[in-house]
Amino acid sequence: MSDGNGARRPLRVAMIGYGFMGATHSVGWRQAPHVFDLPEGVEMAVLVGRRPDAVADAAAHWGWAESATDWREVIGRPDIDIVDIVTPGDAHAEIAIAALDAGKHVLCEKPLANSVAEAEAMLAAAERAAGRGAKAMVGFTYRRVPAVTFLRDLIAQGAVGTVQQVRAAYRQDWLVDPQAPMAWRLQKEHAGSGALGDIGAHIIDMTQFVTGQRVEAVSGTVETIVTQRPRAAAASGFTGTAGEGYDEVTVDDAAIFTGRLSGGALVSFEATRFATGRKNALTIEVSGDRGALVFDLEDLNSLQFYDRTAPADRQGFTKILVTEPQHPYLSSWWPAGHMLGYEHGFVHQVVDLVQAIHDDRQPHPSFAEGLSVQRVLAAVERSAANDSAWERTEVPALATGH
């Protein structure tokens, strides 16, 4: 960006929200310029939240230059170039549309919105803003785990042949205890849906990303296993009633559904917060007529590869350690065999967004890709309400990228 005198100044970022995802995004913004040779400078300008003292403390802790409580005022500032949205889902559409209409680049956490209608409005705003050079991207960060990007590359190169079946699951257990307190993620008005939208969105996007195909139809069911939760003490990010008593859980705890890809393959999906003992277990297995590939987030620096074309006496899953400089993103990190972690995907997210802004091209995943996931989520909910009948997702053709 120009400072008005022809000199380049850093891209100045405002982040709206500062909870768990705010922490991960802050790490990304802070580390990316120090590890990667970015084509543009980056400055963590302002952190925005509702509570002045809490957001000021968070800004100081994570390295933001200042804090504020009025996101509308911040979006209107001429010195802000990028708006990063990490709020609960019910605020995504309003903030993103306002930021894009103000000519700001936007990074929005997943899922894109709480409904298809909101996501469509956000895409329309992104398309309007694109004519003025503003970029919009969705934060499906697991795409940027090097092993996942490499898995996508291997499939595109024909390593598994024709994709015949996909199994994708995201399992957690943080709600198994029925006395776990109410949170905004359990309120439909704030979260849109439960495990389906929160973690199911990740495996839908990952499936479409690595296969290069879209989910065309689904059949599924959703379940709320614990229907009431004790009220929480007032805390940062909690928007419900605090104090004694119980409130209704208005989202799903688990979702299990089958999908059909545009290339004909069948997909099984599972998203649950009731998989006892599973803390953050995201897995995907892609099976084809020439081989298979497996990724497990709990072993995120590797892939399992089965080569069906190998001699029969040498067949079996083999481990590929994805730490070589030839692998995606890794040439800027540590020597081979030195592992990366969860936070590095958020660094890579910043790298890709800044590079796309510099190159004046559409970053991925785009709002169109975010809308495609939203349509799948909505189709699962329709199917569950209609005795698991097959439902079309009406997803347009995708152009997927890093």
With a cut of 50, say whether residue 1 has pLDDT above it.
yes
Of 40-49, 217-226, 252-261, 388-397, least confident by mean pLDDT is: 388-397
Residues 308 and 175 in one domain: yes
Angle (CA) 59-65-139 rounded to 5° is 65
Residues 96 and 172 in one domain: no
% of the chain surpassing 70 pLDDT: 94
Of 157-171, 185-199, 338-352, least confident by mean pLDDT is: 185-199
Instruction: Tell which residue, 174, 181, 189, has the closest CA to residue 233.
Output: 181
Helix/strand/coil percentages in the chain, nearest 5: 35, 25, 40
Given 142, 169, 192, the domain boundary residue is: 142
With a cut of 90, say whether residue 126 has pLDDT above it.
yes
Q: What average pLDDT does the segment 160-176 reach?
A: 97
pLDDT score at 310: 96
Q: What average pLDDT does the segment 353-381 reach?
A: 98
Q: What average pLDDT does the segment 346-355 reach?
A: 98
On whether the CB atoms of residues 157 and 310 are closer than 8 A, the answer is no
Cβ-proximal residues to 166 (8 Å cutoff; 6+ apart), any chain: 207, 211, 261, 265, 266, 267, 268, 284, 285, 286, 287
Do the bridges between strand 302-307 and strand 291-296 make them parallel or antiparallel, or are there none, so unpaired? Answer: antiparallel
Instruction: Tell which residue, 141, 171, 145, 139, has the closest CA to residue 303.
Output: 145
Q: Which two tokens stand for residue 168?
A: 């994708």
pLDDT score at 306: 98
Residues 312 and 204 in one domain: yes
Over the stretch 83-125, which tens digit does the pLDDT of each residue have?
Answer: 999 999 999 999 999 999 999 999 999 999 999 999 999 999 9
Instruction: Tell which residue, 372, 322, 319, has the closest CA to residue 345.
Output: 322
Tell me, yes or no, whether 355 lies in a domain: no
With a cut of 50, say whether residue 237 has pLDDT above it.
no
Helices and strands: H and E segment counts in the chain: 11, 17
Instruction: Tell which residue, 220, 111, 116, has the closest CA to residue 168.
Output: 220
Of 4-8, 66-70, 240-244, least confident by mean pLDDT is: 4-8
Tell me, yes or no, whether 267 lies in a domain: yes
With bands split at pLDDT 50, 70 and 90, how would you rate the model's confidence at 192? confident
| Tokens 């939203």 sit on residue | 374
CA distance 267 to 11: 41
Residues 174 and 313 in one domain: yes
Tell me, yes or no, whether 354 lies in a domain: no
% of the chain surpassing 90 pLDDT: 91
Give the residue numbers spanning the domain of 45.
11-142
pLDDT, greater one: 75 or 395 = 75
pLDDT, greater one: 235 or 400 = 400
With a cut of 70, say whether residue 234 has pLDDT above it.
no
Residues 127 and 156 in one domain: no
Q: What average pLDDT does the segment 205-209 reach?
A: 98
How far from each other are the two terminal CA atoms of the chain, in whole angstroms? 23
Residues 119 and 196 in one domain: no
With a cut of 80, say whether residue 163 has pLDDT above it.
yes
Q: What average pLDDT does the segment 319-329 reach?
A: 98
With a cut of 90, say whether residue 232 has pLDDT above it.
no
Residues 325 and 196 in one domain: yes
Q: What average pLDDT does the segment 129-140 reach?
A: 97
CA distance 70 to 98: 13
Given 113, 142, 171, the domain boundary residue is: 142
With bands split at pLDDT 50, 70 and 90, how would you rate the model's confidence at 241? low
CATH of the domain at 84: 3.40.50.720
CA distance 17 to 79: 19
Residues 313 and 171 in one domain: yes
Q: What average pLDDT does the segment 186-205 reach?
A: 94
Number of domains in the chain: 2
Residue 355: alpha-carbon gap to chain centroid:
19
Residues 197 and 107 in one domain: no
pLDDT score at 244: 80
Residues 110 and 219 in one domain: no
pLDDT score at 394: 80
